[in-house]
Structures are given as structure tokens and as C-alpha cells.
Structure 1
Amino acid sequence: MKRLTILGSTGSIGVSTLDIVAAHRDRFEVVALTAGNNLDLLKQQIETFRPKLVSVLTSERAAELDRMLTGYKPEIHHGVAGLIAAATTGETEMVVAAIVGAAGLVPTAAAIKAGKDIALANKETLVTAGRLIMDLVQEKRVRLYPVDSEHSAVFQSLEGQSRKDVKRIILTASGGPFLNLPLDRLAQVSISDALNHPNWSMGQKITIDSATMMNKGLEVIEARWLFDTPVEQVDVNIHPQSIIHSMVEYVDGCVMAQLGVPDMKAPIAYALTYPERISSGVKPLDLTELSGLSFFRPDYRRFPALKLAYRSLADGESMPAVMNAANEVAVEAFLKGKIGFIDIAVSIERTMDAHSPHTLSSIDEVLSVDLWARNKSRELLGIA
């Protein structure tokens, strides 16, 4: 019986994780859940899985949740302290880090310090503090398992192989909803257009990141740290069918790939039970139904955010944190209708240009850089 904390239980990854738990109640126990504002869904999760501790965004939400619960009632926490309490609670063995954005960094770092294994779905933890987090993982001797479909595919393709034999990692990307849209029409795309992903069902922020391909840029940075691989050996291929989730090319010319239908339950299940495999509820892949698989290199004119991600690693250790914060501000502004789609990458680049990169010595310093970048990005956009 593996005891779990799920950070971000009402998001798409959290919901899928709990679907797997529900199908394997003999293997998993939910100790703690955290959510933001979706109290109705959290209430259902509490009634179904009966965690000992939950945390929500604010004290007001905590009081509201307390009133909503008429039967079983766990400890109710809130804010950053609540996230840390959930991530470090004594009974938990593994923390599923599924909070979207830089908000996931602090509780994930706290969980590692407390000796918890991590199933990592939060890209921003390694994007903003990759070296610090991986050093901490090594120091505390915990295991960090990737949940992103691309990094899970790389993880599986590396199994049983020598790292010295790796020539390059190839991350695949669907290309999002605007892969074939004429470049001169990108300025006119609407919010609903950008949220209409062709293959995956995800939250709003991640879906916009897919449309700009910033999500792939974040994954490049994450792969650099997760697999201790120079960024020069991490490539991206557009693969519109989203069947091959990523690949590893070896020095002998062989390529190992992991295939499957686009469903996050498979990589989640693998992270939860590694090195075992369990039924994930994912539809099996029938290769005879496929009309073909295609691959090509990304066009930086269409996807400038991807180029900015590679630049951030080259510029210096603090720059990925700046880029990530600027992206979160810009995506939020786009979703509120304050800027256009193509302004997202422009805004990120302007914020990066205003930063002098330097080495990061602590998580607190990462948070300081993150705050600076958010303020600078809002200032440059002229928004409160």
C-alpha cells in the first residue's frame, strides 16, 4: 500500500491520478490533497478518498470548505503553509506534484527535504530551480519520477541502457492548434481558438503553452536537468499525431521510442508503481488503425517561445526562472483578453532582455527572481 499526497488534486493530472487510485484501492491510500478554488470537486474527492489532511488557497476558502463538509472532515489547511504541510506529512511516501506553475516549487522542494519520493508533473520546479532541486534529490536520496508524457517516454527509453551511449534526446510535440495556420493570421487568433488543442485535454494555462510551444521549451529545460543531459543534446520534433511521446537516439544509430494513445493516465500509473506496471485504463494502441506518422523540425517564426527557452539556458542559471515567470504573466494577460496571442512571446523576450542573469544559490533566491520577473513583465505590459 503506497501512501500518497496529491498537490493539485482538482486539476487534470490530479483527477487522472485519483482515477488510477480508485481503480487500485488495494495499492494506494490518499493521505493528503491540495486544491485551489474548486471546492465542489475537492469535497467529492474528500468524501471518496477520505484524506487525513487537505489544503486550499486561502483562509476564506478553508472556512467555506469546512462548512460544506457535513460528514467526514479532515484537517483543513490553507496557503503555502498548507501546501508544505500536505507535502511533508509523516505518513506520505510519495508526493504527486501536479500544481501548475511556479507555485509548485516550494512544496515540492519541501517534500524532497522531508525524504518523500516525487512523481513530478510540475514542469516549473525544474525549469526555475533545476540544479538546486536535483542536488537536493541526490542529497536526500529520494527518487524523482517524471509524469509528463514526454519525460516518461524518455525515462522508459533509457531503461537498461548506459547513459554514456546516449547521443540525443528527442522530445516530440503535437504543434498545437496553429501548426498549419498562416503566420500572418496568428495575430488574429482568439482565446477559444488557442484553447482548442487537437489531441490533449489539459488545463487552460498548459493548453496555451502548447499553442505557443512554450510547454515544449519548458520540457527541454526540464529534460536537461532530469536526465543530466547538455541542452545541445535535447532536440524537438513536431509529431502531429502524438503517438510517439519521445525518443532517445544512441551512438550506434538506434532509436528507442515509447508509443501510446495520448492519455496522461499511462505515464501517471508508471510513475506511481515503477518498476511495475498496472492497468491504467488507457485504450491500447492499435498500430493498424494509424494512417501514418510524420515528423519535422519546428519553425521558430511560428514558435518563437521555443527559441526563447533554448536561449534561457544559454544565458545563465536565473534566466529560465525569469522566462517562466514572464510566460505565466503573459498567458494570464492573454486569457483575460489584455494582450494578443503573438504578444505572449514578445512580452517574454522583453522581460528576459531586462534581466542580468546570475547563479542561484537557494530556493529563496529563485522566488526573488520569480517575483522580480513578474513585476517587470506586468510593468512592461502596462497591467496591474
Structure 2
Amino acid sequence: MIYLDYAATSPMSMNAIKAYAEAAEKAPGNSSSLHDIGGRAAELLEASRHAIASCLGGDPKGIYFTGCGSEASILAIVSLLNGVADPKKREIIYSAMEHSSITNFMAHLEGHGYIVKKALPDGSGRITSEQLSPLLTENTALVTIQHGNSETGIVQDIGPLCHSLKERGILFHSDCVQTFCKIPIEVKEWNLDAVSISAHKICGPKGIGAAWINPGTAWKPALPGTTHEKGFRGGTADVPGACSFAVAAKELSGSMSQNASRLKELRAYLKRQLRAAGIKAEFAEGEDPYQLPGIAGLILEKTEGQYALLTCNQRGIAISAGSACQAGMQKPSAAVVSLGYSDEEALRFIRVSMAPSTAEAELLAFTNALSAC
């Protein structure tokens, strides 16, 4: 089967699999145990923490392992809000293009006394200071803006946003699950308060993610009394998963530039083939350089996205009709609608997401399958 759904998840690399197996075999202990076997597991966990932090340009003390990227986002947001000293600061801003896990959690916070505001993107799909400024007040506690959208691939310039918010004493979190190790992230240079990342998007294992919180930023645990991960999260640390995560991150970050160049070539090839086949489709995308090259979001002229997905699947090609976390819900993507498309147009959305190993022949097969819709 031809796999063109890497934004949903990616197959583990052989080095990540090897790292997982070796850690599971040679360091089976609980990293919190005081004996030597536990100590060995703790050493590997700390080494993994340092490796992942180096890919973010941040202090390893700020890395907290979680069960996934969504959990990392939710725990980071709650922990930051818990650390806000001023009780009047009860306002939160999020973008209309956030992952469903954050969007749904915003509704939860709204039901618990927070004032939640949604920032809409400009005509190019970006959230800028112009979009945020009218929403900010002296009671704004936190802003969360996704770095790269999982459906359209549009990238936000979060560095300048964070610096401007810092001047007003407002916390900033970014969901970097789709961008980690694919485009540069510099948490220290950008002065970020917190980011969330995930292993399975970068050829690591499923079931492990991480939050990075600036060691200089105040926070309090989401669940009081938690002892693992310095109080950030309960549960025995997944040492093999962390080791595999670290290996995958170092492997991918080391070839980031080459991978981006290859993906740009593939994306350009896909556009040429669609034109050559006479397929009328509009790319929902950002202006260069604010676009992840591995993601191509298409609004088809007449065909509904889920029908195109099923047609491709029958021909042995895996694509998506949007975020995998919302697949099958039969409703238009909020991220696509926020770009100005109608609900009907958003239902004609499909996503092709590639890896550097994707072959031109695979994209040609996809184009041929789409022609049959």
C-alpha cells in the first residue's frame, strides 16, 4: 500500500525500534527506584531528556515526558494557568486552527470559569499581532497558538508573537507536534513558555510525547501530589519509549534541511501532476516560508473528501480527509473553514502528507486515483 498520511502518524525508523528494544532489555527498572537497575533506567531517561531538549534549543530541565502530544498540551496549559498568581487573570486566547484536543479543552476551561477567546487568521492563514491585539486585555493569562497546522501545513511565526506577549506578562504555549524536527524550533531564543511535542510524528513510538516548560516560568501541577516527572505527570516513566523518542528526534533533526528540500520537490511535483491530469483542486496553504512542505491540503472542485479517500484506499493509497483525530465525524474542518472556505468547500478537503522517502511514482499513482473520482 502507498502511504501518504504521514501527518497522521509515521512508521518507526529502524534505529528507533532498535533503541526501544535495547532499552527495554538492558534497563527494565523503574527510573524512580533507588537500586542500581532503577538508576540505570534513570540515566537513560535523563540522557533522552537532554537529547530531545537539544533539538528544541532549550534547557533539558524543562522536558517532561507524557503519554502523547495532546496530553502534553493539556497538562502544560493547566500547569501554566495554575501558576498564575493574579486571580483576575482568567482570560485565554487560542487560534481557530488549533488541534481538536486543544479546541475541545478550551470548551472545558470555559465551563470552569475562564473567559476563552478565539483568534481568527488573516487572509494568508496566519495569526499575527494584528489578530491578537484586539483580544488582549490586562486579564489575559495565556495564549496558545499552534506552530504548524496538521491539516493545511500552515506555519505560524510564533517567535515574534511570544516576545510581544512577554512584554505584557502573558504566558505563551505552542503545539509543535507537527513541526518538531521538521522545521527549526528555538524555544530559548523565541522566549517561549511551553511547547508540546510527540514521538510518533517523527518516526518514534506511539504512546509518548513531551512538554517543555521554560524553567524560569512558574507552574503548578495539574494533579496535586503527583511525584513522577517532577510533579508534572503521574505514572512510571516509559524509559524505552523515551530512548526511542530521543533517537528518532536526533536522527530527523540531523537531516532537517535535506528533508525539507526533498519535500519541497515532492510538493512541487504533485502540483505539476495535478495540473497535467486536469484535476481542479485548490491548495489550502500558507505563503512561503510559512508552509510545511510535507503537507498538501487540497480543496477538490466537486468530489467530497471522504469519497476521494475511499476511492484512493480501494486503489491501495492511504490519504486523509483531515485530522486523524476527527476522522469519520462527517463535519467540516474548523481549520479549513477558518481560512474563509464554506462548510461545503471544507467537506471537499483532502490531505496528502509525505515523507522524504516518498517516491514520485507514488504521487503519480495518487493523481491517477484522484482522476477516477
Q: Tell me if both proteins adopt one fold, taking TM over 0.5 as the criterion.
A: no
Structure of higher RCO (CA pairs closer than 8 Å, 6+ residues apart): 2
Task: Give TM-score scaled by structure 1 length.
Answer: 0.30
TM-score, L = length of structure 2: 0.31
